[in-house]
């Protein structure tokens, strides 16, 4: 998945934050923005948690359920590691994993992805997932 180029104003802001807080230049990961191409999980905007920091910064945080969707997709797409650890720390239920799996299939309906998704679900304790053919 090739990330879309960042708008110049965002690049400038990213670089300023990196400089001011001593972060690596690549601290801002825009690659997940490609998920917008196929749609967010149903109800996403109604679940976001919004926080305001001062007069000029408002941040919308994805809900736990939506993070489960994103992390399951990333685990299957990119393999174990950070995404697996993040997903396990969210302690998803069987129903949450099945909901996330159904959404993930809308982003990659290929048979190869389905096979890997079923394997990931079994690894996470969901033995009887029915994801269609």
Q: What is the pLDDT of residues 2-44, one digit of tens each?
A: 566 778 888 888 898 889 989 888 888 777 777 788 899 999 9
| DSSP state for residue 5 in the 8-state scheme | P
Distance, in Å, from the CA atom of 59 to the CA atom of 52, rounded to the nearest integer, reads 6
Of 90, 95, 108, nearest in space to 35 by CA: 108
Q: What is the pLDDT of residues 88-103, one digit of tens each?
A: 999 999 999 999 999 9
**pLDDT cut 90: percent of the chain above it:** 59
Average pLDDT, the chain: 89
Residues 46-69, mean pLDDT to the nearest whole number? 93
What's the pLDDT at 6? 76
Residue pair 34/4 in contact (Cβ under 8 Å)? The answer is yes
Model confidence at 48: pLDDT above 90: yes
Residue pair 26/52 in contact (Cβ under 8 Å)? The answer is no
Distance, in Å, from the CA atom of 32 to the CA atom of 35, rounded to the nearest integer, reads 6
Residue pair 47/66 in contact (Cβ under 8 Å)? The answer is yes
Residue reference for tokens 């697996």: 84
Model confidence at 133: pLDDT above 80: no
């Amino acid at each position: 998945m090739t990330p879309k180029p960042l708008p110049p104003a965002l690049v400038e802001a990213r670089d300023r934050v990196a400089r001011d807080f001593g972060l690596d230049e690549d601290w801002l990961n825009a690659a997940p923005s490609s998920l917008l191409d196929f749609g967010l999980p149903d109800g996403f905007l109604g679940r976001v948690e919004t926080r305001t920091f001062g007069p000029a910064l408002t941040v919308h945080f994805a809900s736990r359920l939506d993070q489960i969707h994103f992390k399951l997709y990333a685990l299957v797409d990119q393999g174990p590691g950070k995404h697996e650890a993040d997903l396990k720390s969210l302690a998803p239920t069987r129903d949450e994993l099945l909901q996330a799996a159904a959404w993930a299939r809308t982003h990659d309906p290929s048979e190869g992805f389905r096979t890997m998704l079923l394997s990931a679900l079994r690894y996470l304790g969901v033995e009887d997932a029915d994801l269609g053919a």
